[in-house]
Structure 1
């Protein structure tokens, strides 16, 4: 759960911390290398929705992880999924290869009959400024290059990305969580430059429809995204929603509207004091 104080001011995510939930929230958090702007508006004014968002920071601040999941269902189903996701985020907080995390998530969802979710996992590795992305049936992330000023959808086939080895031994790969166990998960990496933006979002942004009543999909969303001023990442989601409302004539999206925008500032992890290192070590060992 996110308290009211956290909704007012930007806060730094501490080492070994997992932050997030499925509450309505608009605000900023800070992790090494990125300013993170989170906006979640549950459908029809509910306090909580079916979208789950989490941010974690490893013991040394070199591995930060971002997760956006869209769970099938509402209420207690989503609450249970959010708790499971948080527990697994904490278990794998120091694990660089997030494919293990993805497989564990899939196993957990598959063990609970009827629980399914799409999810996108992003691990940022600060020593090299790489964002490593694993997609479990979720809408493709969007990347804006500071050099070109243009947005593009990201997957392992895009120019400038480095794809992982095939997970073919599992047969099916990158399926939504809970569909088939075991499922293999492949990932790819893109190196970020200072000023680049990376956006994760829920499928409601793709399902907005124009005058013909048909969902506009990736092409329509990309047209909207490229028409919006991205100079202030903290306002980007607000501007996108306003432009969608202008084009569709509908004041809100027809589902939870969640977007997580990463603004790459290329900052290094802070140097830890002796006391901080002792506290972090205790968390790693499960003593605190």
Structure 2
């Protein structure tokens, strides 16, 4: 595998920070487990972070999470030794800046459809000279256990920049996306991908066009020295696919809560 970057990134950095749990597992060849957080509650963030997960994806795209909740969740999760990751709601300099100023250990960016969009994500996620990220907040360093100068020197090499491939266009352009310097991980969004390719959700899982698209994404990631991840419904599905992916997001807090009650009610009614 060739890493198509001309500067150190999370995949090849020599910087070591024990607080970066997801990155450290990826670099060690282990498979970090994460989940999505949609509730705007610092207590839910703490409860989820204490389960043994390696990272929590604070969902600012589809979750009920604004700026205050985003900041509080990052602080709570990182304080418990777990990596706070943020799924932002789109590709925009101000959105990226606000998310990174919380101290997130990584960004997950939805609906990345071509190399130009991927390059925009990288540009506003990196400090100069690699990008155009601005500095003015004391908060990012805190979640990394560093001083601000230390953070400034390490951020470009340790921030996980993850892009979601979840459209037909994204699959068609995945080679160029994967080759984009500064992109660290390709993440498959299976539901939106199914809707784009099949016109319905969820995918049954045996549709040739769906399976071919997934294989194309993972193969492109490997060819360009990038990690690959995806969302799964449960731990069993993650275990079954552990040899194919480097990172999993196992469902989320909203489904976990609803499914637990459904299971209890079903048990009672049997």
Q: TM-score, normalising length from structure 2?
A: 0.31
**Between structures 1 and 2, the one with greater strand share:** 1
